[in-house]
Structure 1
């Protein structure tokens, strides 16, 4: 199958300034992510950024980079601009690989792209893994998703869903046996036709209250297919501690 992997890279970061350019074993973080994405079956790997320093670093490493506007409210809006710049057709598939995921599994990229291609009534495909620990179910920083029998998303939430009424009746924070709770993984495949539509969709109350942009698609009637993987991927780089952990992993590899 054919698809393009686009890596949005924005320099601004409150917790880790200049995050895409932070060094990981001699190379910028965003370049390490691109190298990992290049192990997938993508026909093309492209970094989308609004920063000329990132552009230069990426091109120096031999990857294609596209300069975009600086006023995009979301990474999806940035992808939509790049899809238009590349003149991609509405049925083409674009996979959004987060720029701070240098340990992303290339096969997961392939799987989310293949899932979208196999479901013509879905505009987006994403991933999730089973929640096996109670504290993750009740952690609002971990996004949960519930699906129908066709493995299409019904809802995403920071709240513990589905709510096991009987098991939680006494106020306990426990994981009910066999609860189909899923931890959403922020890897997305889009059909370009949807990317062209996304910037024009109205923001609804669910997205505003949950602060989850994927709810915009559901609120406007677009289907999201969900690939279930049993192993949750390695965490990305969000904090200084994450950075040191990833640096240690690459140091051990080298």
Structure 2
């Protein structure tokens, strides 16, 4: 049986939305909303991996746990790897779930769904995708597409990730959701590997895993959670999380 831990990387120095983790959403910082949703998933202990003491204080004030990490990590994966060594040095947890700190509307069921592909011992990393239903997303480079082959209903094996419209021809396109469940050993392999050529070209970190020969499987979910990258996304999150409205 897997014994997961959930780690939420939080970086204050966002280019498009500085101070993003502490952005107010109806009286609570965004990072607290994400922490609450991860707690609702009820898959294991939840820690925020922060680069600023103000984030630590905000999470602690809400009753959560947070650990300080270096400010200069190049990615959230590197940040959670440092945090994992700090909060679980004994190696109790064999699966690490990386929930991005800018997903305040994510549902607990979506976090749980990411664990399902790891029931197959051959899978190194599990992630999520949802079918694209809006035509404008098909050619939007900010909507990452997963190219995958179906193994079972609702589960696929990733072959490639791209910002381009792919695969060509008739059929559904898949919007990749950047939430990952790593086997602990796989996370260590991933952060130890140098950035790969396709990763640098597409600016997609997950391609490093595929180029390193790691197996990435995908669980399908109904919708993509809102990622807050810019002020307009923050306003949309506030509308979605308004009191009395379901996310």
Match of 2:167 among 151, 156, 162: 162
CA distance in 2, matches of 1:218, 1:20: 30
Aligned-pair distance for 1:190? Answer: 0.7
- Taking only aligned residues, the RMSD between alpha carbons, in angstroms, comes to 1.6
CA distance in 1, matches of 2:209, 2:93: 17
TM alignment of 1:134-173, pairs within 5 A: 134-150=135-151, 151-164=156-169
CA distance in 2, matches of 1:20, 1:47: 11
Structure 2 partner of 1:208: 200
CA distance in 2, matches of 1:224, 1:90: 23
Aligned-pair distance for 1:90? Answer: 8.4
CA distance in 2, matches of 1:248, 1:232: 17
After TM superposition, the score normalised by the length of structure 2 is 0.91
Q: 1:181-236 CA deviation, whole Å, 9 max, x = no partner?
A: 2110111111111112222212221101000000000000000010012x223312
* C-alpha contact 2:145 2:164 (8 A) present in aligned 1: yes
Q: 1:30-53 CA deviation, whole Å, 9 max, x = no partner?
A: 001101111102220100011111
CA distance in 1, matches of 2:196, 2:239: 42
Structure 2 partner of 1:33: 34
In structure 2, the CA distance between the partners of 1:119 and 1:90, relative to structure 1 (3 Å rule), is farther
Runs of 4+ that moved beyond 4 A: none
In structure 1, the gaps of 5 or more residues are 165-175
CA distance in 2, matches of 1:250, 1:203: 36
Q: 1:31-76 CA deviation, whole Å, 9 max, x = no partner?
A: 0110111110222010001111111111111111011112211100
* C-alpha contact 2:14 2:20 (8 A) present in aligned 1: yes
TM alignment of 1:1-254, pairs within 5 A: 2-85=3-86, 86-87=88-89, 89=91, 92-116=94-118, 118-150=119-151, 151-164=156-169, 176=170, 179-229=171-221, 231-253=222-244
Shifted more, 143-152 versus 45-54: the winner is 143-152
CA distance in 2, matches of 1:19, 1:160: 29
CA distance in 2, matches of 1:188, 1:199: 14
Aligned-pair distance for 1:180? Answer: 3.3
**Secondary structure of residue in 2 paired with 1:34:** helix
Number of residue pairs the alignment of both structures matches: 239
CA distance in 1, matches of 2:140, 2:90: 39
CA distance in 1, matches of 2:172, 2:242: 37
**Secondary structure of residue in 1 paired with 2:126:** strand
After TM superposition, the score normalised by the length of structure 1 is 0.89
